Structure 1
Amino acid sequence: MTALRPERESDTSYGQQSYGVPGASEGWSEAQPHPQGPHPQGSYPQRPYPQGPEAQPHVAGPQPYAAGPQPYAAGPQPYAAGPQPYEAGQQAYEPGAQPFVPEPAPEPYAGAYGAGGGESFLPPVDEETVALRIPDPPPADGEAPDGPVPGSRAASRARQDRSAPGGRAARRKAAKRRHGRQGNAAEASTPATAREGARTPLSRVEARRQARARKPGAAVVASRAIGEVFITTGVLMLLFVTYQLWWTNVRAHAQAGKEASSLQNDWASGKRNPGVFEPGQGFAILHIPKLDVVVPIAEGTSSKGVLDRGMVGHYAEGALKTAMPGDKTGNFGLAGHRNTHGEPFRYINRLAPGDPIVVETQDEYYVYKMASILPVTSPSNTSVLNPIPTGSGFTKPGRYITLTTCTPEFTSKYRMIVWGKMVEERPRSKGKPDALVN
């Protein structure tokens, strides 16, 4: 229960009390009901602030009213409902209540507004403001030139500094110590609960649950396996294509060049004589000036022993055996790759009638003129190698040459045939023919 406050000494009744006099205490309001019942409207007027010459100047900050609660005047004070006498220090309207004892006013608030002394409140003097002092440190991160940004860490530190005991010097020292610990700012900014939670070990059940969640499913594993197979297959195919289209040509050109140099050296030294040659043995050199082709001719048409080494093979075995260039009549048949492994016959489709084709041996130069071409035929059409080749346009025996290769490019489904007729036989002692000089 709220205790009643004694009235100030006055000639007026309680309901007509005016609070314009300095030192007057707060009165009853309609929010505080009287213990014996409500009073009429206006019986407890609100206290106005002093007006006129008695008003005290306003000082920044909270200004307390009169020091401590002021006791009301002793003696009987009639209420609006009738005289209700009571004495100072006695609880009215409630038997057995403790008497009200006013508390002494705090020391710094002596002479405050309304105390009757007319003095205003003054804050304690800062000792550093009366002498030279060190300037304030420059603004830290998150702090504006005129003060910290509201809501930032600098603003919170400023509030802590203002609430810390001591003067401005103590707050400045605390700020310097805090700035010296900026290396641990990241660790300090991390909440302690988060760090402890990160270090908290998981239970065995939780660890197993997380491990199962991280483990990929069967569909993911299968898709990864299929993807790896595709990637591996693609890489292998790329390597194979690179080997076939590039590396085989490099190696075949090197082998063919070495064989041609060896033949020419043997011919110059007289070590090799015309006769029967073994399979894979080089015995002549083919020149196609229009295509800039210079390639050795070896006995046989095997892939590994002759064609894959970048050389041209002579049909000299079984039913496909053809004549030699030195024979008085017959068809000198040759085979070569159109793609990969040196690809000596890649562009023989560009030959036109009359273009020279020269076969160089140890003793002679045999010069042929291109006569006709069969763009596409079956691989089993061996009649193109007959002494009088079928489809060449030749009608009687003679000294002919036949070049065979695969078509279309990069396949071996069909064969392309080019024929030529010998027009000159020139001994090496007379020098090179005009087809190789021009």
Structure 2
Amino acid sequence: MRDHVRVVVQGQGRRSRRSGLAQVLWAAGELAVTAGVVVLLLVVHQVWWTNRQALHAAHAQVRELESEWSSAPASVEPPSADPSAGDEAVSGGDRPSEGSPEGSSEESPEGSSRGTRSGPAAKTPPREGTYGILRIPRLGVAVPVAQGVDKRSVLDKGYAGHYPGTAQPGAGGNFALAGHRNTHGEPFRYINRLKAGDELIVDVKGKRYVYVVGQTLGETTERDTGVIAPVPRSVVKPEAGYGEPGAYITLTTCTPEYSSKYRLVVWGTLKG
């Protein structure tokens, strides 16, 4: 009678465990790749597609406004001797005070408060929606101007938003605007490149107002409401800004790029 030989295969359970671990790691890797692709698509949508959509729509709105105004071209009047007396936005800036902001001085502002205007300055709030066009020749920018600084209804459409409570175009005080620096048309992306003497042109129906860049503030907090006050002057950095009444324009946007931590500010005065 033959003896039965029993063969014991060692390591089979170990190999099985290794195989199971490999399958788990493979599945985890596939999930990580899938998640990465989804995140990449979201970034592409946010940074590229929404930007493309908003830019296209903003350009179409500029053309629509120009077409609407074409039947009533601007009529140039003699210079006036005295002007009429939403992340990119500055928080709490809807109702700037009428007096000089904290930290203002008696020093004369750069430039003149007297300006050349095509037609009288607007004295009443503009209609809802877009009502003007901001042109920045140095940057090749032409962007619709809308009332308010709400992200969804104004800034995310690629428009420049007019801070409620600030001056009307061409009027005495501070005509203050906010705009995106990145994504959603990014109309203010390169305003950090503006230099003293560059022109900022604001067109409304039948009127054109030309401002000249005088000062820039590279960084301030989102709560620095002094930058959009009637006499603009930073309350965070009091050395930046103006000290006398005039006709000003202010552009605000986020800084650094792809961040909303701080605000970048450009100021100009009505050309005279």
Counterpart code for 1:414: Y
Corresponding residue for 2:67? 265
- Indicate the SS of the match to 1:251: helix
Q: Quick one: distance in 2 between partners of 1:305 and 1:230?
A: 36
Does the CA-based 8 Å contact 2:134-2:144 persist in structure 1? yes
Q: Secondary structure at the match of 2:271?
A: strand
Equivalence for 1:296? 144
1:305 to partner: Cα distance: 0.9
- Give the corresponding residue for 2:226: 383
CA distance in 2, matches of 1:224, 1:390: 59
Question: In the alignment, does 2:269 pair up with 1:421?
Answer: yes
SS at 2:27 equivalent: helix
Aligned pair partner of 1:332 in 161, 167, 175: 175
d(CA) in 1 for partners of 2:27, 2:155? 40
Q: For residues 325 and 289 of structure 1, do their structure 2 counterparts lie closer, same or farther at Cα, with a shift above 3 Å needed?
A: same
Q: Determine the structure 2 residue equivalent to 1:244.
A: 46
Aligned equivalent of 2:34, options 232, 236, 255 = 232
Q: In structure 2, how many angstroms separate the alpha carbons of the residues matched to 1:308 and 1:415? A: 17
Q: Residues 182 and 257 of structure 2 are in contact (CA less than 8 Å); yes or no, is this contact kept in structure 1?
A: yes
What is the deviation of 1:216?
Answer: 7.7
2:141 and 2:218 map into 1 onto residues whose CA distance is 20
Deviation at 1:304, TM superposition (A): 1.3
Match of 2:131 in 1: 283
SS in 2 for 1:338: coil
Deviations along 1:238-281, one digit per CA (max 9) or x if unpaired, are 112211221122101111011111111222246xxx754454x0
Structure 2: distance between partners of 1:345 and 1:299: 17
SS at match of 1:301: coil
**1:253 matches 2:55:** yes
Higher CA-based Rg: 1
- CA apart distance, 1:221: 3.4
> In the TM superposition, what are the counterparts of 1:47-196 in structure 2 within 5 Å?
none
Unaligned runs of 5+ in 1: 1-209, 425-438
Q: CA offsets, 1:62-121, max 9 Å, x none?
A: xxxxxxxxxxxxxxxxxxxxxxxxxxxxxxxxxxxxxxxxxxxxxxxxxxxxxxxxxxxx
Q: Call closer, same or farther: CA 1:229–1:242 in 2, change over 3 Å.
A: same
Shift of 1:380: 1.1
Distance in structure 1 (CA, Å) of the matches to 2:209 and 2:219: 27
Structure 2: 5+ residue runs without aligned partners?
1-11, 73-121, 235-239
Q: 1:186 — aligned with what? A: none
Higher share in strand: 2
2: distance between equivalents of 1:393 and 1:416? 13
Displacement, 1:360? Answer: 0.7
Whole-angstrom distance in 2 between the partners of 1:377 and 1:226? 44
- Who is 1:322 aligned against? 166
Report the more deviating stretch, 384-393 or 414-423: 384-393
What code does the residue aligned with 2:158 have? G
CA deviations 1:304-351 (Å, max 9, x no partner) are 1111111111001xxxx2111142x11000000111111111111111
Q: 1:418 is paired with a residue of what secondary structure?
A: strand
Identity percentage of aligned residues: 46
Name the aligned partner's letter for residue 296 of structure 1: P
If asked which structure has higher relative contact order (CA below 8 Å, sep 6+), I would say 2
CA displacement, residues 9-48 of structure 1 (integer Å, 9 cap, x when unaligned): xxxxxxxxxxxxxxxxxxxxxxxxxxxxxxxxxxxxxxxx
One-letter code of the match for 1:251? Answer: Q
State the distance in 2 between where 1:221 and 1:382 align. Answer: 58
Partner of 1:372: 215
SS at match of 2:176: strand
User: 2:70 is paired with a residue of what secondary structure?
Assistant: helix
Match of 2:197 in 1: 354
Per the alignment, residue 198 of structure 1 pairs with none
When normalised by structure 1's length, the TM-score is 0.44
The one-letter code sitting in structure 2 at the alignment partner of 1:309 is K
Check if 1:394 corresponds to 2:242. Answer: yes
Corresponding letter in the other structure for 2:35? T
Q: Which residue of 2 aligns with 1:312?
A: 160
Q: Is the 8 A contact 2:233 2:241 kept in 1?
A: yes
Runs of 4+ in 1 over 3 A off after TM superposition: 213-218, 274-279
Change (3 A) 1:361 1:407: same
Distance 2:206 2:147 in 1: 18
How far apart, in 2, do the equivalents of 1:393 and 1:265 lie? 37
Shift of 1:364: 1.2
CA positional deviation for 1:400: 0.2
**What's the counterpart of residue 344 of structure 1?**
187
Cα distance between partner residues in 1 of 2:226 and 2:201: 23
SS of residue matched to 1:287: strand
> What is the distance in 2 between the residues matched to 1:236 and 1:269?
49
Q: Which amino acid aligns with 2:135?
A: H
